Structure formats: C-alpha cells, structure tokens
Structure 1
Amino acid sequence: MKQIKEKIRSFPSSPGIYFFKDKAGKVLYVGKANNLRARVRQYFMRSGNRHPKTEALVRESARVSFKLCESEVDALIAEARFIKKYAPKYNVILRDDKNYFFVAISKEAYSRISLTHQPDMFGSSTSKHIIGPFTDGGALKETLRLLRGAYPYCTCKPGTKRACLNYHLGRCLAPCVHPKACAQTKRNVQAIVAILEGKRNALMRALTARMKRASRAEEFQKASEFKKQIDGIQNIFSHRFFLERFREIKQAKPQWSVVEKKIQLLLKTKKTVGRVECYDISNISGTHAVGSMVVFGNGEPSKNQYRKFKIKYSGDTPDDPKMMAEVLARRIKHSEWPMPDLIIVDGGKTQLSAAQSVLPKTQLVMGLAKKQEELYTPVRPLPILAKNLGKETLFFVQRIRDEAHRFAITYHRKLRGKIR
C-alpha cells in the first residue's frame, strides 16, 4: 500500500485513464480522470464514508498504472475501449444499480444514432453496431453533440415526413425526408463510429488525404468540406478541459451579473440589461414566413411573454432582412408590452442593419450569425467570435438564439400544416 501511495505522487495532473491491478497483473478496475494524480489519490484517503466495495478494490490491488490522454474526451473513449477489452470485475461491482451507456447504430439506410442502457435489447435485426460501455452519460452526450456539429446525423424515428428542428440548426441532413442525403449521413455516422472506437488518428489521416486529392483535382468545394470536418475534430479534442467546463455551466447557471457586465462592455454602455428579446425568421423560399420573439429576464426565459408574427411581406424574392425589419417595426408599436433593454437578432451585419433602420436610436441591439458563431454590434467595425465572449455569455446568447429559432420553426410548421 505504501509503495502505491508513493507511486501516485509521480502521477501527472493531466487527463487520462488509470488501472488497478492485482498481484498477477490482472486488471481489476479501469477509470478515467481529468486530473490523474488527484483522482487516484482519493482512493487511498482515510474516510469513514468510503463504500465497502471501494475498500475491497483497494485491499485487492497490488499496483496502479495510468495512460495519458490528450483530452477528457479522449479519456472517455479510451476508458470505454479498455473496459470492453478487460471486463474488470470491479467495473461491474462498483456500478451498483447504475447502468453503463452504449451508443447504438441502427440498420436503416442512413443509420440513426441512439443511446441505450440495455444493448442486449438491440438485436442484430435492429442494430448493426454497439459501442461502449461508457461510464459518464453527461460527457458522452456532450461529446456526441459536438461531433454532430462536424458530422450531422439523424435521430428521427422511421416514417418521419418532415425535416426536424436539428435539420434547421445544421445538425441533421434530414435523410428521412431527403433520400439523396442518405449516403452522406452514412459516411458521417461511419466517421463518428471511428472516433468513438478510438480510431481518430486514422480518420484524420484519411480525411487529410481526401482533402489533398480534391485540391489537386481542383474540386475546391469538396476539399473545403473535408477541411471543415478535420477542423471540427481538432476543435473537439484540442481543449483538454472542455467537458469539465461544460459540466460547470450545466450544474451552476451562469450569474446574470457576469453576463450583463460583458454585454455592457461589448456595447460600450452603462445601461441596465435585464429584459432581453431575441428574434428569428422562418420561411421556405419566402412562403408561410413567420417571425418569433422570445423574452429572457435576467438570463431566464419568460415564456408567457413570447410572441409570434405572421409576416405580411410579399416581395418577389425572399428577403429575410426586410422580414426582420417588419417584425421589429410591428413590435415597437406595441407600447403595452414592456420595452426591451437589449434586442438580439438572428443574423449578421445585414440583419443588424435592418433592425437599426426601424428601431429607436437609443435601443441596444446586436446580431448573432449562426454560420461562424459571430456577434455583430453597432459600436464595433468587426464581428466578435462568440467563443471569445466567455463561457457564461456564450451559453446565454446561444441559448436565447436557439430558443428563438425553435419557437419560429414550431409556429412555421403549425401554419404550414393548417394551410395544407
């Protein structure tokens, strides 16, 4: 025991996985950690609250080793791989009544991805691939969310007849309603499977080779798509403590005072920012166009104050900026509604200019563009990358923007359904 404690002192304070082994070298337990030294040291601290099964693990262990990982996402994936490889007895015992998470890949033409606690229920008739086990459900879900940004995939049930909200958010290619998207969705799922099985480096090499071939053949659009996928993977795995920051945000809601100060700094104002309204436009080639207004008070949604607008614009071509200007002009006329401290429009410089053309000069306003996640303000000549706003402000602006988009899409679908 003393030798193990001495060895732990030399463990790095880095992400990785650790192994408890018996005298014969058999693996008893595999775990992951964001800080290897701190996590493994906890097992050997004196505590009356330690679980009897943890006590048994420590008594039976003769040595402890580790394997470094580049990030916590890497550690999550490596842990699942080694649990599957060694099937350590204490990984089963210490779970108690909790279940591991598994990723199931369906057999449809476009391969859906879903999570399950019971892989045995996914027989060969419904699932062609099961990946796992994963011990941290929250980290796994966030990793899949990030991967979906680089590799959009489908989660809709078979028989779906309309494109889902994820399609409009760029997280799905809607193969369930657009058969031509099946092939690309299948390739995206194959890439995600490779990453979750620890074959990221091989995938990166393959993507780099394809990008170079496309570039030599002067297929620059295709090369750009491969580059986007490579960048997406690098972004996910380059941040060592990304999942830790994600959990901090989820577990503790951002303090509004922090977000408010950041907004005041961005807009170069000392005005109080409490009521924030966000606007989005939804239409298909200009038809059934609608606008949404969602309201947040001190960082929290006030759903009873949400409003919907059936857009009257009837130009020959779709014009989102003009539609946005119409919605805001109509909103300002409602003097019976509390006036906003800040207005956020979904869109970039053009939408921001359209908003400014109808709003009072004193109204604080900014635009958030989806494609590059850039924030546009009237007081700065260049946009600001949303990722540079700080985690609290980033979480807020993305949350209110996505809520406005959800509300607009829901109303648009409802209106379109009635007309049919």
Structure 2
Amino acid sequence: MADPTTYRPAPGTIPTDPGVYKFRDAHRRVVYVGKAKNLRSRLTSYFADLATLHPRTRQMVTTAASVEWTVVSTEVEALQLEYNWIKEFDPRFNVRYRDDKSYPMLAVTMNEEYPRVFVYRGARKPGVRYFGPYAHAWAIRETVDLLTRVFPVRTCSNGVFRRSAAMGRPCLLGYIDKCAAPCVDRVDAATHRQIAEDFCDFLAGRTDSLIRRLEKEMLAASEDLDFERAARLRDDVSALRRAMEKQAVVLGDGTDADVIALVGDELETSVAVFHVRDGRVRGERGWVVEVQENATLGDQVGTFLLQFYGEELEMSSGVPREVLVPELPDDHLELAQWLSGRRGSRVSLRVPQRGDKRTLAETVERNAAEALNRHKLKRAGDLTTRSAALTELQAALGMDEAPLRIECIDISHVQGTDVVASLVVFEDGLPRKSDYRHYAIREAAGDGRSDDVASIAEVTRRRFLRHRSDRVPDPAVSDAVEPDADNGGDLAPEAAIDPKTGRPRRFAYPPNLFVVDGGQPQVHAAAAVLDELGVADVAVIGLAKRLEEVWLPGDDEPVILPRNSEALFLLQRIRDEAHRFAINFHRSKRSKRMTASALDGIPGLGATRRTALVTHFGSVARLKDATIEQIAQVPGIGKTTARTVHEALGGAAIPDSPESPDSPPTKTPERTSQ
C-alpha cells in the first residue's frame, strides 16, 4: 500500500487550466483517469486526509504510485481526451457500465459478398450492421422469420453456404422461398445485396416507403392479370404490418431519441435506456454499476453519456437527434457539442418536462427501478463477496496484500497427444478475457508421452520469460542501475507501457497469485521455475481436484479452506475457467489434426494445400468423392497433384493423357517440409 504523500506534487506545480489526469501504480499501469476544469483544485482534493476520503477513492490513491496530467485548451478537448484514455487504458478504478445481462442483437454482415442475418452477442465489428438490442433471442428469431418471407436474405452460416454451393442444392429455406438461395445462383450478388439493404431499411424505420412500394407492385400485378404475384405481394404486405405491430408507437411525431433513466441507492445505480426510432421503441438496455464517490445524479449522467456514446457509435442506431436524461450534468453544453460531433449534426441534450416524452421517461425510470430490485435479489452481496474472497485468500495464504490479479494454468491432453495449456487471468475477482492465453506444449510434443509436471514448468517459464521481455526499465533510474537479465533482484523498476506504441503491455507486470491445477509436484515445479528466473514477488499455490486442497511450495501438508469459503469458491471458478479454456483449445487442435491426417504423406501436399483442400470441400469424405477435375479447381492444386491426391484417397488410377503441343510441361511441386 503506497503512501499518497510520497508522490504528491507540490501545489504550485499543478496548473489551474482544464485538463485530464492519470494515476499510475508501481508497475506504471493506469488505474484511474479523470478530467477537471481546474486541475489544481481537483488533484489537491485527492491528497486530503485518508480518513475523510470515500473508500473507493482511498483505495485508489493508496494503490497509485504517481500522478500525471495533460493540459488542454477547452473542456470539449478534455472530454474527448478522457474518453480516449479510458478506452485505451481501461483503468480499474473508473466506473464501467457493464450490462446486467448479455443482450442479443440482430446482425447483418454487409461486409460480405453475400450478406447474412443472424443473432449476435459480443463486441461490434466494422462493416456489420446491428439492430436492437432485444430482450430475448426468440424475439429476434420471430422477427427474422416474419421478414425473410418478404426479404429472403440468407441466414445460414458460411459453412452451410459453401456446402450447399458445392452440392448444387439449396437448404430447406431455399426450397420454401425464405432464402433467395444465392449459393446456387438463383440471384446474383448485386440482387442479394439489394434484398439485404431493403431488410436493413425496414428495421431502421423506413417502413412506410417499403409498404407503399409493395402495394404499387401489387396493384400493377393485378392490372396485368398476374393474380398469383399479386396475392404473394398482398401476403408480404400483411407480414410487414404484423412485424410493425410488434413495436409499440410511443411518440406520435416520429421522434428519434434515446431516453435514459438512473435509479440508485448509496451503493449501486441502475441505468436503463430505451432506443426510440421513428416514434417506436426499437430496443432497450440496462446496467447496474457501483455508485461513483460523491457524484451527483448529473455527474453520473455525464459519465454514462461519455462511455455509452463513445462505444456505441458502431450501432446502426448511432447517436439520435435527441437524448433525454433525468438531470443535466454541469458540462452539458460541452457534452452536447461532443455528441453533435459524433453524430455529424446537431444533438439536443435535455430533460423532458411534459407530454409524451415525460411519460415515456417515467416508464424508463420504472424499468430502471425494477432492474435494480431484481439485481439486489439475484446478486445480493455480490460486490462484498468478491472483496471477502480476496481478503480470505490473503489471510489463508499469509500474503502481504490481497491478490488483485490472479493467473491460473491448466494442462489438457489425451494420453499424451496434442498437449496444450491455458492461462486465464482474473482481476478483482472477475475474468479478464482479453489477457487469456493458449500454449502448445513443446517439450512433451516430441516424445509422445504425458508429463503434467514438465508441462506446467514449461508454461510457467514461458509466461514469466514473456513478463521479463515485456518489462521496460524506468528512464529515471536506468542510468544508475544496470538491468541484469539473469538476476531479478538487480532489475530497475519496470514500466508497463510500450514506448513505441504508447499502449499497455499486458504481461509487463506479474500476478499477485499464480495458481496451478494440481497438487504438491505441480506446485514445486512452478515454484522452481520462479526461483530459477529470480521472481520473488509472486505467490504460487496448487489446487488439487480430489479434495480441493490448496498446496503451498515447501509445505508437507495442504491448506484446507472451509467448504463454504468464498475464497475456495473463487479458486474453483478460476480453476474451472482454466480447464474449460484448455479443453476447448485441445478439442480444436485435435479436430484439425484428425481432419488432415488422411492427407499426410501425400507427395506434393504440404500444410497449405491440405488446408485449402479441406476448406474447399468441407471434409475429407467429400474430397474422396471428388473427381480429378474438381480437385484441380482448388487454387494452388495442379492436375498432377490432383491425380496424386485422388489415387492416394482410393480413387482409380487414370492414365496420363498426351499433352497438347501448346500446353507447358507439368511440374510436380516439391513436398513442403513439415
């Protein structure tokens, strides 16, 4: 625990201009980012008596080891810089708006040659249009089922699409006219893209023009006595009207707005957002977060707007013309200017006072209150549970401080084959999936035998060698202390920021606790590697599955945690997550090996060509049924190699045909070294 007085800057050195500041810990990680109209006034408040600070602020200033700031010209610049730094450094003490559940979206991959529609959860990708979020996945599927009758865009995966194209037959949806079947060239790429764009236009709210167009086509077909087409268009119009009826009209003037409500107590705040487009509720979202210290309702609104519209720009809805909030933050003019820049046109940020918008805001507020009540009932004590688990671990293992960063490794194999390992990372009791890593074991792979102890030693060595390579000497002491790669005790203080990119290095700092899946032998193997590398500030334990015993290096008896212990529950979660991650990687690696094993040893067929063949035909079984001409159509496969593959897989040998005088001689490619 650091003493804030050791890094407190002299008050006269802090400017009184607006700016953005960063607190860093001893490993140079950014732990908090903030902005201020007056940097001197704001930063001085952090160095008051610790007893008078909010608990979260007190923990932050004692975790930090330095503070730095950047002066800007205007508050809008400060707002933009704060957002950029929060997004880049992901500081652990900044409030993060996490969904209280995972909301499904409707995604349309406009970046593909043949766009497809599917249910999606996760980070948004460029070139993909998203609609929603929806409360339930079945609501998306019901909507898609209605709309594909009118807009037959493909909904199949890329694998099914390629398989149908190879067989020359569409899937069931193609036969029942719920897919235009571009896989078998019923429509070309341009026509299918137009269908996808009409699908997106309807979901984006441009419904009236589409219905009017279909009604005109229906009347024209009726006048031409094409009654079958007219009846089909009539059914299409009915399907579109049914889809529209599922979205209630809440604002009759066709307003585009986001309505935001915040309801909270002294510990947590619930945030609810209704996305209203063209007067209809297109989606809703909710979050439950810890209350910011000494923050007013306006301050919380400002923080939410900065994070939400900074991250959600890629959504199809984007930033609307109006943002309705329960209270305006102090810097609402700067926020409105920033939102207008994100949208590209003027955005109104205001509090609804009367009429339909005020009524809708009250409805959103009731939803936020209900979400907070559900969260309290479902996850009562969750915030204190993680803290209790880390505190219990600290006491049980005799650590100087709570293990805020825990890493765990697990080994997976089948009778010594395809040996792999996983490393998972938990920070503050929560998984940090961006730092997860896979390892293919090198030492055990050559002899075909399983040695979990040696595998754990290898993974431990590779992980902490990466830690050593990522460390950067502190310029302030690099001239006085010569870093020694073989002696961890003589290293200068490290920086976790890459000087070339300016971004944090994920493994430039060690974990507080390193967990291995296993008992005494595994723990001793990991501890021996750390001793060899001179790593002395990392605690190592093993969690044995049989009795859930916790083993410490050098101890003959394990530590037994109570069965109802929050610390044991946290260790089990971490170990199970490492096991799941390792199993998934092992299965994928084993599947790839078994798929390509039938092609091993064929002359002229290296890894790249094997992959190309399996990708093109979908499986080795289909490759066996292919003719030489079909195999030769795969990019990179000549006719001679195609004949070799065909014969090696059991096909009948075909005599060489005489080459024409104009054709160049065929050269057998050399076999790729494996």
* TM-score class normalised by the smaller sequence: 0.3 to 0.5
Give me the TM-score of the superposition, normalised by structure 2.
0.25
When Rg is computed on C-alpha atoms for both structures, the one with the higher figure is 2
Report the TM-score when normalising by structure 1: 0.39
